[in-house]
Structure 1
Amino acid sequence: MVVPAYNEEERLPRTLARLHEYYSGQGYRYEVIVVSDGSADRTRELVEDFAKGHPEFRVIEYQPNHGKGYAVRTGIEQAKGELILFCDADLATPQEETEKLLEHMAKGADVAIGSRPLRESTLEVHQPFYREMLGRSFNKLVQLLAIRGIEDTQCGFKMFTPEAAREIFRRCKLDGFGFDFESLMIARDLGLRIDEVPIRWSHQEGSKVVLMRDGPRMLLDLVKLRLAGKRKRLALRG
């Protein structure tokens, strides 16, 4: 598992404890890689302290901050599991939902993604109205311009086979929040099977997405990817 983290010292103690509590009770081995994306707080120290008693956990740190896409890519490139999941540090999607993704992977999916708009999904705590409406509108644009048939590209709960992760993320170039739809566009370009999975989800305060700053950037990235075409999207990073 890869957990991107930028200045998450307030959330991490609860998050790390919950990840350990849940996954240590399952019948499979696991690892948790927390990627400190240029954090200026005690993110690294907290993970290192926790890892002293929990060897399944480790931290990668670098400076300066590059963005969530860069952090996820860095963690995935070092992950060693038979399956690779990334999730947000706020655990907006409860870890129990891992089992739903695993079911789809066992049935042949290359990528399984949590999806909030599906009818079977449960949104236990909604985002503020304006954020939810903007998010839905953006997903419609993604479907129109890039990835038809996928309702939710931005949910931070996605699982990959190692082979799919390697082929996708060695081509991903976006360092910011647009990496979610970029990775799925590339997966679609590669002909990989992507399963959307209904999940439980609860809005958590403290999102790092600043709508007036990141929204236009993501839209511009989306348009650039669409105009680039399949051949350029599949080109390896330089």
Structure 2
Amino acid sequence: MWKPHLSDRPAGVGGTLPGISVIVPAYNEEQRLQASLSRIWSFLSQRFSAFELIVVDDGSTDATVRVVEAFAVDHHSVELIAYQPNRGKGYAVRTGMLRASYDLVLFSDADLATPIEEVETLLARIMAGADVAIGSRMVAGSELKVRQPWYRELAGRSFNLLAQRMATPGIVDTQCGFKLFLGPVARDLFNRISEEGFGFDIEVLLLALRLGYEVAEVPVEWRHCEGSKVRLLRDSARMFSTLVRVRKRHHAVRSLRNERVRV
């Protein structure tokens, strides 16, 4: 079974980090996207040898597209992908991941609940041998600067316990919107997934584990931001359905490990 070696991993030049693609899914984010893009672009331009910032507008009905277009006029390496109608976060992230050009690919939520600077912590684990490094709010060392309301936190912990039993053993936080992949690994995984909603993280991580990729769960700084698109009662039921569905969809993957196509 092919697995990336350290020699396959991209190296930086001088004091900069290697090239990276950053994917930001966006749905009706006109109010906070300008500030987020400015922070991401400024950090990438200072720390990475090359980068692209890909915003995927998931059928927004507000001025999100115009905000990105205006930002791109004065900032190089910014790309907008926009489509109608709204398809879901998983569809948006998959679209961006499969458009990415570089050998490191990060997806980050538009609200920057996890600061973009935390990518360096994730990258350290990639360079040490992991294929996927995911931000986590629930492992030792994480810093919750602003916590969620207690009922959301309880629901999140309960769901992750269920996810560990049904799909992603050993991963305690599947839903943090800050995940870094080696480019070839991202292309392999996102070409295989079907989930278009918030449950796509579960499918990606289930496949990563079953295909034998090394997934590192990394403590990060995180703060709750108002304006979440997740609706607790509605989406909790959908997430449980996702767990059942992806387990069934990929039940045979474990037996196919040795047949994975080299990427």
Unmatched tracts of structure 1, length 5 or more: none
Rounded to whole Å, the distance in 1 between the matches of 2:97 and 2:90 is 11
Q: Structure 1: how far apart are the matches of 2:250 and 2:227?
A: 35
* 2:237 paired residue among 195, 202, 216: 216
TM-score, L = length of structure 1: 0.95
Instruction: Please state if 1:138 is matched with 2:159.
Output: yes
1:21 aligns with 2:42: yes
- Unpaired stretches in structure 2, ≥5 consecutive residues: 1-21
Look up the match of 1:105. 126
Q: Check conservation: 1:189, 1:230, Cα contact below 8 A.
A: no
Q: CA deviation at 1:229?
A: 4.1
SS of structure 2 residue aligned to 1:230: coil
Deviation, 1:28, is 2.3
Q: Distance in 2 between matches of 1:87 and 1:117?
A: 18
Q: After superposition, where does 1:190-229 map in structure 2 within 5 Å?
A: 190-229=211-250
After the TM superposition, which of the residue ranges 83-92 and 51-60 deviates more from structure 2? 51-60
| CA distance in 2 between partners of 1:204 and 1:216 (Å) | 23
Task: Return the offset for 1:232.
Answer: 6.3
Percent pairwise identity: 53
SS at match of 2:252: helix
Which of the residues 66, 69, 73 maps onto 2:90? 69
RMSD: 1.5
Deviation of 1:45 after TM superposition, in Å, equals: 1.1
1:22 & 1:228 partners in 2: Cα distance?
Answer: 39
> Residue in 2 aligned with 1:78?
99
Aligned to 2:191: 170
Q: 2: distance between equivalents of 1:28 and 1:105?
A: 17
Partner deviation per Cα, 1:77-127 (whole Å, 9 max, x = no partner): 101012000000000001110100110111111100001101110000000
Identify if the C-alpha distance between structure 1 residues 63 and 232 changes in structure 2 by more than 3 Å, giving closer, same or farther: farther
Q: How big is each residue's C-alpha offset from its partner over 1:45-93, in whole Å with a ceiling of 9 and x where there is no partner?
A: 1111111111111110000000000000000010101200000000000
Partner of 2:173: 152
Report how many aligned residue pairs link the two structures. Answer: 235
4+ runs of 1 displaced by more than 6 Å? 232-235
**Any conservation in 1 of the 2:57–2:83 contact (CA below 8 Å)?**
yes
Is 1:2–2:23 an aligned residue pair? Answer: yes
